[in-house]
């Protein structure tokens, strides 16, 4: 046997940056322009003018609904918010086990249990209509799971969902136990819409890889949650607020930031892997925050102004602006969300985008199976034969399957 040692070398950028892996009709991020869209609509325009259920329908069904279609879709999604009895019974144990790691960690386990309790079938074995219904069932249950896990972790009883509230308002209601102020519910809804989808990020790609194997919807989404839990992906909103707390007062902004930039540390809430200009989500959320006003918002705006100037001075030629996490943390804090629920709230939005990608991927029967370039020690051209005593050969045959 001979080994081919002349396989062509293909240079692949680290992290697959810029590598096109498939075609999609769901949306795109145009980083150099500071623009992103869901299907043919500006995502920021949708967040400003539409409700969450509108955009959910757009991603899953491919078009914005009319009034009658929206009412029907909203009724279907609201009806799926309640959890199966088997899942409800297990939540206290899941919450106790994830007390340190938090609700997002517990969501991975709860999603797997939900998929089993709902009897979800592999997407490979079911038709497009059944797949869509499965994504609706799982996505609708995610806010119920997250808020129940949080409240149980705080020693509080879960709050049952209400079908008469919007997705965002019901989420806040289940979190706090009180019907939210409409202005705060709308602010959270706009944040949720703005973060439903954002190109082929790590969690979206994870969901699609799992979907390409034909696995069920819950498996795809629990894998995506695992990817999102990494601090390089979804863990920055609370850390951006931690930065504001650490700076403390306006007179400390300049020395605090300079010290960390010169030390090579990252300033949380600034910079993005794709955008080379201002993150449009950050611009929108800054406007929402300024609409609320107050000293916290004014301080955040001043921190942004000074950080941007200092980074331009110390890192000339490299534009660094606030990303979505910076003002997301400010807005969520203003709306009464605890910091440990910032990233789970992000997941409550992104689960819809993951589902749209799962549906699109499930329509393609080809499994995602890339290759890696081996760079380890060179193996021998041939494996030398080994003499095995007859007695050992007989024993091996006797225990084989």
* DSSP output for 366-392: ----------SPPPPSSPPP----HHH
Return the CATH architecture of domain 237-333.
Answer: Orthogonal Bundle (1.10)
Active-site residue 272, yes or no?
yes
Active-site pick, 53, 118, 189, 325? 325
How many residues does this entry show for the chain? 401
State the first-to-last Cα distance of the chain, in angstroms, to the nearest integer: 27
What are the residue ranges of CATH 1.10.230.10 in the chain?
A: 237-333
**pLDDT at residue 396, rounded to an integer:** 47
**pLDDT at residue 323, rounded to an integer:** 80
Strand order in the sheet with 27-30: 27-30, 35-38, 41-42
Active-site pick, 272, 304, 321, 360? 272
pLDDT along the chain (401 residues), means of 10: 51 78 91 88 96 98 97 98 98 96 95 97 97 98 98 98 98 98 97 94 96 98 94 74 92 93 84 75 93 95 91 81 86 94 95 98 93 85 68 50 48
Q: How far apart are CA 42 and CA 35, in angstroms?
A: 8
For residue 332, give Cα distances in angstroms to 185, 194, 210, 215, 343.
10, 13, 31, 34, 11
Which pair of tokens denotes residue 54?
């509108």
Q: 166 with 51: CB under 8 angstroms?
A: yes
For 377, left (φ over 0), alpha (ψ -120 to 50), or beta?
Answer: beta
Largest separation between any pair of C-alpha atoms in the chain: 85
What are the residue ranges of CATH 1.10.580.10 in the chain?
A: 27-231+341-362
Query: Dihedral (C-alpha) 162, 165, 171, 176: value to the nearest 10 degrees?
Result: -70
81-101 burial, b at 16+ Cβ within 10 Å, e below that, comes to: bebbeebbebbeebbeebeee
Among 358, 345, 351, 352, CA closest to 59:
352
Which pair of tokens denotes residue 388?
């095995």
Q: Half-sphere exposure of 367 toward its Cβ, with a 13 Å CA cutoff?
A: 7
**pLDDT at residue 321, rounded to an integer:** 81
Q: 77 with 355: CB under 8 angstroms?
A: no
Token pair 């449009």: residue:
280
Please give the angle made by the CA atoms of 325, 57 and 20, to the nearest 5 degrees: 60
Token pair 């991927």: residue:
361
* CATH 1.10.580.10 applies to domain 27-231+341-362: yes
Which pair of tokens denotes residue 221?
């989404």
**pLDDT at residue 21, rounded to an integer:** 84
Active-site residue 333, yes or no?
no
Element (H, E) at 116: helix 103-117
**pLDDT at residue 399, rounded to an integer:** 45
Q: Indicate the DSSP class of residue 273.
A: S
- As to burial, measured by CB atoms within 10 angstroms (0-12 exposed, 13-18 middle, 19+ buried), residue 54 is middle
Q: How far apart are CA 343 and CA 329, in angstroms?
A: 10
């Amino acid at each position: 046997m001979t080994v081919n040692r002349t396989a062509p070398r293909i240079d692949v950028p680290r992290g697959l940056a810029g590598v096109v892996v498939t075609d999609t009709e769901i949306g795109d991020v145009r980083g150099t322009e500071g623009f992103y869209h869901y299907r043919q609509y500006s995502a920021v325009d949708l967040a400003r003018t539409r409700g969450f259920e509108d955009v959910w329908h757009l991603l899953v069904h491919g078009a914005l609904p009319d009034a009658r279609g929206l009412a029907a879709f909203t009724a279907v999604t609201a009806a799926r918010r309640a959890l199966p009895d088997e899942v409800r019974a297990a939540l206290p144990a899941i919450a106790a086990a994830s007390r340190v790691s938090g609700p997002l960690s517990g969501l991975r386990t709860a999603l797997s249990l939900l998929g089993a309790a709902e009897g979800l079938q592999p997407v490979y074995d079911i038709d497009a209509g059944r797949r869509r219904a499965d994504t609706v069932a799982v996505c609708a249950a995610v806010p119920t799971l997250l808020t129940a896990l949080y409240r149980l972790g705080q020693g509080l009883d879960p709050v049952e969902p209400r079908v008469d509230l919007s997705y965002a308002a019901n989420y806040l209601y289940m979190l706090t136990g009180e019907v939210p102020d409409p202005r705060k519910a709308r602010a959270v809804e706009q944040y949720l819409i703005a973060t439903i989808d954002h190109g082929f990020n790590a969690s979206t790609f994870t969901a699609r890889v799992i979907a390409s194997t034909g696995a069920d919807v819950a498996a795809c989404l629990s894998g995506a949650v695992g990817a999102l839990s990494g601090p390089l992906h979804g863990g920055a909103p609370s850390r951006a607020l931690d930065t504001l707390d650490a700076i403390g007062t306006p007179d400390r902004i300049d020395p605090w930031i300079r010290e960390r930039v010169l030390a090579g540390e990252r300033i949380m809430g600034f910079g993005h892997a794709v955008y080379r200009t201002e993150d449009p989500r950050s611009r929108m959320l800054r406007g929402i925050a300024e609409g609320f006003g107050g000293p916290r918002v004014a301080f955040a705006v001043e921190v942004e102004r000074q950080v941007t100037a200092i980074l331009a001075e110390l890192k000339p030629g490299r534009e660094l602006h606030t990303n979505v996490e910076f003002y997301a943390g400010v807005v969520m804090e203003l709306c009464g969300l605890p910091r440990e629920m910032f990233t789970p709230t992000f997941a409550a939005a992104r689960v819809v985008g993951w589902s749209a990608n799962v549906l699109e991927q499930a329509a393609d029967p080809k499994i995602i199976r890339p290759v890696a370039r081996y760079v380890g020690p060179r193996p021998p051209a041939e494996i030398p034969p080994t003499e095995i005593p007859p007695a050992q050969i007989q024993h091996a045959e006797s225990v084989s399957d």
